[in-house]
Amino acid sequence: MSLAGNIGGEELGRETSMTKVGIAAFIGALVEWYDYFLYGLAASVVFTQLFFPLENRLFGTLAAFATFGVGFFFRPLGGAIFGHYGDKLGRKAILVLTFLLMGLATFLIGVLPTFQSFRGILRRRPAVRARRPSQVASDLARREKR
HEC assignment per residue over the chain = CCCHHHCCCCCCCCCCCHHHHHHHHHHHHHHHHHHHHHHHHHHHHHHHHHHCCCCCHHHHHHHHHHHHHHHHHCHHHHHHHHHHHHHHHCHHHHHHHHHHHHHHHHHHHHCCCCHHHHHHHHHHCCCCCCCCHHHHHHHHHHHHHC
Share of the chain above pLDDT 70, in %: 69
Give the count of domains, the chain: 1
Residue 136 has what pLDDT?
60
When pLDDT is averaged across residues 124-134 and rounded to a whole number, the result is 57
Contacts (Cβ under 8 Å, ≥6 apart) of 54:
60, 63
Q: What is the pLDDT of residue 114?
A: 80
Q: How far apart are CA 132 and CA 138, in angstroms?
A: 10
What pLDDT score does 32 carry?
82
C-alpha span between 7 and 97 (Å, rounded): 13
- Look at residue 1 in the predicted model and tell me its pLDDT: 46
Q: Give the residue numbers spanning the domain of 29.
A: 4-145
Q: Is the pLDDT of residue 2 over 70?
A: no
pLDDT in tens, 42-101: 888 888 888 777 777 888 888 888 888 888 888 889 889 999 999 999 888 898 898 899
Res. 40 pLDDT band, cuts 50 70 90: confident
Q: What is the pTM of this model?
A: 0.56
Question: Who has greater pLDDT, 26 or 68?
Answer: 26
pLDDT of residue 26: 92
Q: At 116, which amino acid appears? A: Q
pLDDT digits (tens, 9 = 90+) for 8-25: 555 666 666 888 888 888
